Every structure is written in structure tokens, then in C-alpha cells.
Structure 1
Amino acid sequence: MTTIRSIAAFLEEFAPLALAEDWDNVGLLVGDPEAAVTKVMTCLTITADVVAEAIAEHVDLIVSHHPLPFRPLKRLTTETMPGRLVWELAKAGIAVYSPHTAFDSAREGINRRLIDILGAQNIRPLVPHEASTGSDSDEPPGSGRCGDLKPPLPLADIVSRLKASLGFAHAKVVCPRESPIRRVAVACGAAGTFLSAAVDAECDLLVLGETNFHTCLEAEYENITLVLIGHYASERFAVEQLADVLGKAFPEVSVQASRREHDPCTWM
């Protein structure tokens, strides 16, 4: 019998929780570790649509990239969105596991998968971690990724590759450049805090999900190009791939990515 504990143990090996940022809330967040699992759903974020889908599909475990709850709950009522969602999941007996920033930084995690799309070489963490994860991998632990493009690529080619692989139609670009990109950094999600590390690493380009206006101004001052592909596009593809990983690891369990999840941001 496959249990929530056994799937959680696999996920903790795949994306060690020691890689998570100090402020994060990761691991098994809701549910009985000894409960049996026959159906798992992955998603980027637990929303009302995702909860309804999970209940309708008789899912036992949701593996959500973004944690629910994220911040500590002083009370659990249906008067707040997080409270209502947790309440509905608990009533239905659906557990929640979140790898979040541990998955961002894992050896086969989101940032590694992002930079692999660009065919970079000499890949290393953008912000190295001091703590060991206990992994036998030769790749040092750390957040974000940077690497070299050989040969260098025009910015338009890089954006085209990302669009083709991730399925988005538009990207915001800060400080576009005519010269080819030699060194690139990637950081999924809301990742403006990685700008200084990308500058220190002498990167020509930082690909990220989103950031604020003032970080864009700082990038312009530092003469480093930013490509903002959207928070959803920078991470959603990886939860679809994670469903495949879990399906292969647990063939006796039905695993699928949420079909109802969508990007809340659209272009007009």
C-alpha cells in the first residue's frame, strides 16, 4: 500500500527540504501521513478551482508548488480564502504537500529545467548554499542557476526558445541589447532579489517570472537585460513534469497535473 508518508519521503529525496529558503513553509502541510494514496494531483497553486477538481476526481494528495497554508493560521475558519480552502480539503480527506523553494533549487528542479531549455553550459547555482543536502550529487546546492551560452545567442532567439517550451505568448523585456547573450541566469517566480547575484556573476541576462518596477530600473542602471516571462509560465511547466516523475516512481498510483488550473493574468 502506498501511503502519503512514502510519497512525501520520495519528494524529500527528490527536492531536499534543506534547500528551502528560511522563510518558506514546505513538506507535508495537511493530512494523515499513514493514509493510503491511490490518486495524486500536482498543481502550481491551490485555488478554489483546484480544490473542486481534486474533490471531483477523488484525489488523496495534492502536491502543490506553492504552500497552503503559507503563513501561520491563528484560526481555521471559512471566513478567509486560505482557511476555506484548507477546511474543504480537510473535510474531503485530501492531504497537501508543498516542495516550493526546495523544488526551485533542487538538482532536477525548476531553475535547472529552465536553464536547460537554453542549452547553457557550465551550469552552477546563482546563489550557492552553505548547508549540505545530504545528496551525493556533484552539483553544489544553491538558488537560481547561471550558465554560459556557447555560441552566444541573440536575445530574440532566447525568448523564442522560452515561448516554444513554456507556451506563453508575450514577455516583458528590460534593457534589451543587440549584442548576443554570453552568460545567462534564471530564477523562477518572483525573483527580483536575484538581480545583484546576476550582476556579480557578470551575466548579460536574467530570466525570471516577475519583479517590481524599481528592480527593473536597477537592472537598467546595471545594464543587465531582464526577461519577465510571468510567474505562472516560469513554474507551471515543472509541476506537469513532476506529475510524470511521480507517476514513474509510483506506477500503482494515478498521477496527473491539474487540468483546471490557469494563469490569473491575461493580456488585453
Structure 2
Amino acid sequence: MPTIADVVALLEQFAPTNLAEDWDNVGLVVGDGAREVQRVITCLTLTEDVADEAIAEQAQLVVTHHPLPFRPVKQLTTATPEGRVLWKLIGAGISIYSPHTALDSAAEGINHQLADGLQLVEVEPLVPADPTEASPTLGSGRCGAVLEPTNLARLAANTTKLLGIDHVRVVGDDQQPVARVAVACGSGGSFLDAAIDVGADALVTGEATFHTLLAARAAGVAMVLTGHYASERFALEKLATWLAEQPLSVTAWASRQESDPLRLIVP
């Protein structure tokens, strides 16, 4: 029977934790590596709905992209949503693992999957993990060229198709030419300067601040905003499929209860 440590080792081969940002909290954040594991649930964010699903489905491990806990915890009580989730899972003997920014930046991680899904070529990290490498493959974000020149409207359409969503928000004119695209999952607006530095015509990301959007418009760089959830959740579904296919023979699935907290209302 595989152990939690066995699954952790497999995950860290796929997304080495040394790729994580210094401010992050990745790895086995709650649990016992020696415990046996048969059932693994993946999710983008560990909410009470996901915790209840993990308990009901008798999972032994939750792989959550966003770490819980993220910051040091002074008190662990059921008085807060975070405390309730942790208390439930600890009481049920369920471990928690988070790959977060390590998975974002891994060679086959979320940003690579976005670039690949948009059919970008000559793809490189937007911010290399090791700038001294002649041909860096690891790092934050990705940037590459489109197969043939396109425009913002078509890039937006391709992005919605890739992520299975019905809308995106954009900065820029629909007919704005796009030859080089940067991608940064999640809250990727902070990569705008890096996208400008590498000559990207557009940045595809989950979300960005209002002032970042203004800066992009002033710089003539188009932006495609998918929403934080959509920009990352698909990769946790793929991760569950990948885990289930590995020789450890665990049952793995992406949470069926998780959903985007934002809804679109059209009056």
C-alpha cells in the first residue's frame, strides 16, 4: 500500500518545491507521511465544501493548489472558516499537500499547459528560475509566439475554448495584432513588466489590478483576463488524472463540489 510520503515524492518529481516562490508555503502542510493512502482528491482551493467531500469520499489526502494554512496559525479553532476546515480534516486523519507556485512554474506545470493549449511555439519562461541557463525551461510564467499572426479577438476566443468558459475580459482593441503571447496563471498582473520586457503583444492571466490594466493599455499590451479560478482549475483536473495513472495505483479525482465563487449576471 502506498503512503502519503510516496505520493508526495511523486508530486515533487513533477513539481519540485525548489521552484516555489520564497513567500509561498508548499509541500506537506498537514499530515503524516507514514500513513497509507488509497484515495486522493485535488482542488484549487480547500473550502469547507471540499473538506466535506473529502471526508464523505474517504480520501486520505487532499492536494490543494492554494495552501492551507498559508500563513502561520496562532490559534486553530472552529471560529474561522480556515480553522473549521483544518479541524475537520485533522479529525478525519486527512493530510493536506500544496504544490502552488511550484506547480505554476514546473516544466509541465500550469503555465506550460496554458502556453501549450494556446499552441504557442518557441516557449520560454517569462521569468527564468535560473537566468544563467542558455535555454531555460523552468521559471515563472511562459511566453511564446503564435503559430501565425492573429489578433486580440481570436486570442480571446482561443482562450475561452481552451478553458471551457463562456467569456473573458480584455484590455485592448479586438483587431489589435498579436504575434507574441505571455501567460501567467492566477493573479498574474504582476508579470506585466516582464511581458513588456520580452516583447509580448498580449498577456493572458487570471486577474489583475485596475492600475495594472491601465498600465497595460498605456504600454500597448493587450490583456486577456480569464478569472483566477478558470486560469488554474483545469490543471488540478489534469493533475488528478495524472495521479490516477501513476504506478502507485491510487484513486484520484478533482473535487466535484468546488466551483468558481464568481458568477456572471447579465440583466
The secondary structure found in structure 1 opposite 2:206 is strand
Distance in 1 of aligned mates of 2:84 and 2:207: 28
Counterpart of 2:239 (choices 226, 237, 242) is 242
Structure 1's consecutive aligned runs of 4 or more residues displaced over 6 angstroms after TM superposition are: none
Deviation at 1:180, TM superposition (A): 2.8
- The answer (yes or no) to whether the contact 1:44–1:64 under 8 Å persists in 2 is yes
The secondary structure found in structure 1 opposite 2:186 is strand
Q: What residue is the counterpart of 1:16 in the other structure?
A: 16
Q: What residue is the counterpart of 2:258 in the other structure?
A: 261
Residue 229 (structure 2) pairs with residue 232 (structure 1):
yes
Residue 137 (structure 2) pairs with residue 156 (structure 1):
no
Report the AA paired with residue 16 of structure 2: P
- The answer (yes or no) to whether the contact 1:18–1:131 under 8 Å persists in 2 is no
Deviation at 1:223, TM superposition (A): 0.7
TM-score for the superposition, normalised by structure 2: 0.95
Identical columns (%)? 52
* Structure 2 stretches lacking a partner, 5+ long: none
In the TM superposition, 1:33-48 aligns within 5 A as 33-48=33-48
In the TM superposition, 1:159-174 aligns within 5 A as 159-174=156-171
Deviation at 1:252, TM superposition (A): 2.3
Moved more, 180-189 or 123-132: 123-132
Report the AA paired with residue 256 of structure 1: W
- The answer (yes or no) to whether the contact 2:2–2:248 under 8 Å persists in 1 is no
Q: What residue is the counterpart of 1:135 in the other structure?
A: none
Report the AA paired with residue 239 of structure 1: L
Considering only aligned residues, what root-mean-square deviation do their CA atoms show, in Å?
Answer: 1.4
Distance in 1 of aligned mates of 2:247 and 2:59: 15
- The answer (yes or no) to whether the contact 1:147–1:183 under 8 Å persists in 2 is yes
Deviation at 1:150, TM superposition (A): 2.6
Residue 98 (structure 2) pairs with residue 101 (structure 1):
no
- The answer (yes or no) to whether the contact 1:89–1:95 under 8 Å persists in 2 is yes
Distance in 2 of aligned mates of 1:204 and 1:160: 16
TM-score for the superposition, normalised by structure 1: 0.95
Number of aligned residue pairs: give it.
Answer: 263
Residue 229 (structure 2) pairs with residue 194 (structure 1):
no
Distance in 2 of aligned mates of 1:25 and 1:199: 29
Report the AA paired with residue 207 of structure 1: V
Distance in 2 of aligned mates of 1:159 and 1:251: 39
Change in CA separation of 1:131 and 1:87 when aligned onto 2, cut-off 3 Å: farther
* Structure 1 stretches lacking a partner, 5+ long: 133-137
Distance in 1 of aligned mates of 2:45 and 2:38: 21
